[in-house]
Amino acid sequence: MIDTRGLSLDQAPPFHIPARFFLTAPLFVLLAGLLLLWEGPSLLASRWLPLALAMTHLIVIGYLGLLMCGALLQMLPVVLGAPVPAVRWVGSLTHPLLGLGALFLAGGLGYGLPWSLAWGAVASALGFICFLLPVTLALWHARGEPGTRRALRAAALALLVTLLLGLVLSTFLLGLLPLGNFTGWVNAHVIWGLLGWVGLLVIGVAVQVIPLFFVTPPYPALARAWLAPLLLILIVLASLAEVRGWDLTATLALGTVGAGFVLFALLTLWLLVRRGRRRLDPTLLHWGTAMLSVVAAFLAWMLNAPPTLVGILLLVGVGLGLPAGMLFKILPFLAWFHLQHRQLASGRFDLRIPHMGSLLAVNWARTQFGLHLLALLLGMVALAVPALARPAGLVLFLSGLVLEGLLVGVVLRYRRASRAFMATPAP
Amino acid sequence: MDKELDVSDLEPPEPLERILDALMELRSGECLAVSHRRLPYPLFDMLRRMGHRYETTGEEGRYRILIWPSGE
């Protein structure tokens, strides 16, 4: 369980650091939506199309990368009692580097611009390295539940491998390195990025936050302790087999990894059904949709459906939705937490700080979920009915816009409450 | 006279919010008796700073926390 005994303002980064990551990330959903709106159905025809690669990197580095890094800087001290060293520096460097990296990488991949690809690869790599070095140190000294520690360490390792494979692929595309079996290397990059970094991090975070947010029983001890390390071993095997061209081994290992994630998704859905709090809040709806997307993606892969369908389910269903749902809890909680500490530090117990629930416009959060779900469904159907690709792009853009509006709203309410605190004299 | 508050089924930080609200409305001579599924450590720190005293009984999953102003 989250150890709030060790939680102190000295350990947690200032509010503006995670907030900066969280407010920037949805802008990349806007860009991804605009790209799909502009380019239309041709973008969804194959996962190898330059613009599909551009859109993928806008989502995975611009949106997911920023959100996951920003959230971890804040969560490591809380969940594992492991404050990130020099967190202000890390925040100030990683944030612009990942943002610029995503833009340049998307430009380079999407429009065939070698200079943009090179700058994008270097900036993204530097951004992730600035993040990984201190985070590795923090994880080294981490306390707390061993299962979560293992999952987060495995996810950090997966990010490093994804990054190295990305650099290998970029140098090949720039003509600086010969590479046999390009498809195998790309598949290995995708496996480490999506299943390793994103997948293992989701597992590590879920075992902590699902019981906490939704008042559910804990995940079974065996799954908590060993699912992530087991998946990591299988990911190593699957990616090695992809690079070496051992097709049968790759398929078997990947199938087992997929089955492991399906098991995790079904476990999560089972816990959510047994939750103590019966209300359907937007975070719960996003978690449920993301877990169903995992199951659907695995079935689609088993049935040899187009890889773009698996991609949409994982990137949009899980990658865009789940972090949005988490943000609906994380950002208001952080705002509330910092206000609470301000009150403690000042001893102004005569002032009432706003409840966490009042910091987020929850009806708009439900609208955001609805738009997200519509974008996911339209994106999938657009593979068969190309005329729906542009509407899918428009709805995706709108879901990003509402998400951004919601987060800005939380920050403004936090500022207002902060100012009232400082302006009112003590009685 | 005890004022009862059950926050066992609430997600964080609602238990803390509800308890602080209830403390604000506590009348002189009253105690607040809270039922909670876990021990709310951040609350204890706040209570000390606010000049309140508390006493806990029970076990994991079913705690009872009695809170009263330290002057009484």
ipTM of the complex in this document: 0.75
Q: Is A227 a domain residue? A: yes
- Taking CA–CA distances from A217, the nearest residue in chain B reads B61
pLDDT of residue A180: 87
Convert the pLDDT of each residue in A388-413 to its tens digit.
999 999 999 999 999 999 999 999 99
pLDDT of residue A427: 57
* Whether the predicted pLDDT of A340 surpasses 80: yes
Q: Which amino acid is at A182?
A: F
- Tokens representing residue A420 in the block: 């009232």
Convert the pLDDT of each residue in A345-370 to its tens digit.
777 777 788 889 899 999 999 999 99
Q: Which residues of B touch A344 (CB under 8 A)?
A: 45-46, 49
Report phi then psi at B58, rounded to 5.
Answer: 105, -165
Residue range of the domain that includes B24: 2-69
Domain count, chain B: 1
Rounded to two decimals, the pTM is 0.91
Question: Per the CB < 8 Å rule, is A356 touching B14?
Answer: yes
pLDDT of residue A11: 67
Question: Per the CB < 8 Å rule, is B11 touching A212?
Answer: yes
d(CA A84, CA A80): 11
Q: Is A297 a domain residue? A: no
Band (pLDDT 50/70/90 cuts) for residue B2 is: confident
In whole angstroms, how large is the CA radius of gyration of chain A? 21
DSSP state of A58: I
Q: Is A159 a domain residue? A: yes
CATH number, domain of B54, equals: 3.30.110.40
Tell me the pLDDT of chain A averaged across its residues: 92
Convert the pLDDT of each residue in B35-71 to its tens digit.
998 888 778 877 887 888 999 998 877 899 999 987 7
Contacts with A343 (C-beta within 8 Å, 6 or more apart), sequence order:
A349, A351, A353, A421
Band (pLDDT 50/70/90 cuts) for residue A5 is: very low
Convert the pLDDT of each residue in A52-64 to its tens digit.
999 999 999 999 9
Residue found under tokens 């302006």: A423
Q: Is A329 a domain residue? A: no
Residue that wins the pLDDT comparison between A426 and A159: A159
Band (pLDDT 50/70/90 cuts) for residue A1 is: very low
Q: How many CA atoms lie within 13 A of A105 on its CB side?
A: 31
Q: Is A113 a domain residue? A: no
Q: Which range among A21-25, A150-154, B49-53 has the greatest average pLDDT?
A: A21-25
d(CA A164, CA A10): 34
Percent of chain A at pLDDT exceeding 70: 96
Q: Which of B13, B14, B49 sits opposite A344 (nearest CB)?
A: B49
Q: Which residues of B touch A352 (CB under 8 A)?
A: 21, 24
- Tokens representing residue A397 in the block: 């853009």
Q: Which residues of B touch A336 (CB under 8 A)?
A: 13
Q: Which of A213, A336, A347 sits opposite B49 (nearest CB)?
A: A347
Cα–Cα nearest to A77, from A131, A13, A147: A13
Q: Is A388 a domain residue? A: no
Residue range of the domain that includes A242: 146-264
